[in-house]
């Protein structure tokens, strides 16, 4: 005989303990092992939910829950709006092998009605819900991660070869504030690789051209252009405003300057550099791994490492390295995956060989070692032998 709703409820009640809101409140204090599972629809969750609750709508329960809560011995408290859906969901979870599942009687309305703490996540506009829908589908990003991206501030050094793909993808992903430092104007010779810029913008400041492109892509993103050369005078002031610094510069003085300023301010420095057909990328995170000076305490002698303007560069190469920089930046903001800290990825595009080298922090590093000798920003042109003292 087919089961009625009443039968199902009775069956669930026999199988699943129900806790009152007070019991739940007692159990979810500090150090609690319990996972709160909100089984209501996404829009109900969005309007307000218990702090720390995982959203797994009832309709997706069987499909999603093993991904969100792989450990079936974890104690679970399921709740919905009034206590009915969560009771059925909790029964389903026990049937799936979850060992300790309870349902909260009275649900979210009783909880909120009692004046207990609840949380409302960032409200997304209908356009944003569509724009970032592919991010929302990833449990590692979701609405919380997207809110984090929208709140993040990333500073790009250079709106050129590396800065172009990085800025493009960060803007598309909805990184809320993108600062761009570049003193240059668009030149015809840039367009072979600097894809932010276009033919009709030759002569326009790169930060302006970049703003037009990025704003057209995603109006959510606030673009802050700094049409100035990064220097020992402005670096600390500019960097202080941002969470992550992306180094897309094309010269050694700036690379050392970015490194030292990041070490001093303890900001992550997402490094990338390119030469002809080869590129490299890493994340230098002060306190968590080596810095650029740990690897290269001294710059190469002037003229020993020619620039792209002197030696040439394959147009698509900065695309590859810049995308790695964008990816690592997003991982840092979301706090997911294994960041490229203490590792350097090398690309040789002609042989299409990719190598990842482990990097070590140098305890005697002049910037990030135990007894640093670089305690303020110096004259980096002089340090790199590019200016006669």
The contact set with Zn ion (CB under 5 A) reads 291, 293-294, 365, 367-368
The Cα–Cα gap between 20 and 7 comes to 22
What angle do helix axes 142-151 and 317-334 make, rounded to 10 degrees?
A: 110
Instruction: For Zn ion, give the closer residue by CB, 126 or 287.
Output: 287
SS3 for 58? Answer: helix
CB of 263 to Zn ion, least distance (A): 7
Longest pairwise C-alpha distance within the chain: 95
Under 8 Å between Cβ of 321 and 272: yes
Instruction: For Zn ion, give the closer residue by CB, 349 or 361.
Output: 361
Instruction: For Zn ion, give the closer residue by CB, 22 or 296.
Output: 296
Instruction: Classify burial at 79, counting beta carbons within 10 Å of its beta carbon; exposed 0-12, middle 13-18, buried 19 or more.
Output: buried
CB of 282 to Zn ion, least distance (A): 12
Instruction: For Zn ion, give the closer residue by CB, 245 or 326.
Output: 245
The Cα–Cα gap between 235 and 232 comes to 6
Instruction: For Zn ion, give the closer residue by CB, 279 or 290.
Output: 290
Q: Are strands 269-275 and 353-358 parallel, antiparallel or unpaired?
A: unpaired
The two tokens of residue 319 are 């695309």
Instruction: For Zn ion, give the closer residue by CB, 257 or 294.
Output: 294
The Cα–Cα gap between 253 and 292 comes to 12
Instruction: For Zn ion, give the closer residue by CB, 53 or 340.
Output: 340
CB of 365 to Zn ion, least distance (A): 3
CB of 290 to Zn ion, least distance (A): 5
User: 216 — alpha (psi -120 to 50), left (phi > 0) or beta?
Assistant: alpha
CB of 174 to Zn ion, least distance (A): 33
- Order of strands, sheet of 269-275, starting from the edge strand that comes earlier in the sequence: 222-226, 177-181, 153-157, 244-247, 269-275, 278-284, 343-348, 353-358
Instruction: For Zn ion, give the closer residue by CB, 62 or 362.
Output: 362
CB of 325 to Zn ion, least distance (A): 20
Residue nearest to Zn ion (CB): 365
CB of 369 to Zn ion, least distance (A): 6
Q: Closest Cα partner for 277 from 193, 341, 172?
A: 193
Cα distance between the two ends of the chain: 95
CB of 291 to Zn ion, least distance (A): 3
């Amino acid at each position: 005989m087919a089961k009625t709703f009443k039968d199902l409820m009775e069956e669930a009640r026999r199988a699943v303990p129900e806790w009152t809101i007070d019991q739940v409140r007692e159990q979810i204090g500090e150090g609690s092992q319990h996972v709160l599972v909100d089984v209501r629809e996404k829009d109900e969750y969005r309007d307000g939910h218990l702090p720390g609750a995982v959203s797994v709508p009832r309709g997706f329960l069987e499909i999603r829950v093993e991904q969100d809560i792989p450990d079936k011995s974890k104690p679970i408290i399921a709740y919905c709006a009034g206590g009915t859906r969560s009771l059925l969901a909790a029964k389903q979870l026990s049937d799936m092998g979850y060992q300790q599942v309870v349902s909260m009687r009275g649900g979210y309305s009783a909880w909120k009605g009692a004046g207990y703490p609840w949380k409302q996540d960032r409200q997304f506009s209908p356009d944003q819900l569509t724009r970032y829908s592919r991010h929302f589908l990833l449990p590692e990003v979701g609405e919380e991660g997207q809110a984090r991206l929208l709140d993040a501030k990333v500073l790009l050094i250079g709106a050129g070869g590396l800065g172009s793909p990085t800025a493009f993808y960060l803007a598309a992903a909805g990184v809320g504030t993108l600062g761009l430092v570049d003193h240059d104007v668009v030149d015809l010779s840039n367009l072979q690789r600097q894809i932010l810029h276009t033919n009709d913008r030759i002569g326009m400041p790169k930060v302006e051209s970049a703003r037009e492109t990025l704003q057209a892509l995603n109006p959510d993103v606030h673009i802050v252009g700094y049409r100035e050369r990064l220097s020992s005078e402005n670096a600390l002031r500019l960097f202080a405003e941002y969470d992550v610094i992306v180094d897309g510069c094309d010269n050694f003085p700036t690379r050392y300057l970015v490194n030292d300023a990041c070490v001093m301010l303890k900001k992550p420095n997402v490094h990338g550099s390119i030469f002809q057909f080869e590129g490299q990328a890493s994340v230098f995170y002060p306190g968590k791994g080596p810095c650029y000076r740990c690897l290269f305490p001294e710059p190469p002698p002037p003229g020993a490492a020619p620039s792209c303007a002197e030696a040439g560069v394959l147009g698509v190469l900065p695309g590859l390295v810049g995308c790695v920089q964008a990816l690592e930046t997003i991982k840092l903001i979301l706090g997911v995956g294994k960041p490229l800290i203490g590792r350097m990825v090398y690309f040789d595009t002609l042989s299409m060989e990719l190598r990842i080298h482990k990097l070590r922090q140098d305890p005697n590093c002049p910037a990030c070692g135990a007894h640093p000798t670089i305690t303020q920003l110096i004259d980096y042109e002089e340090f790199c032998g590019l200016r006669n003292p």
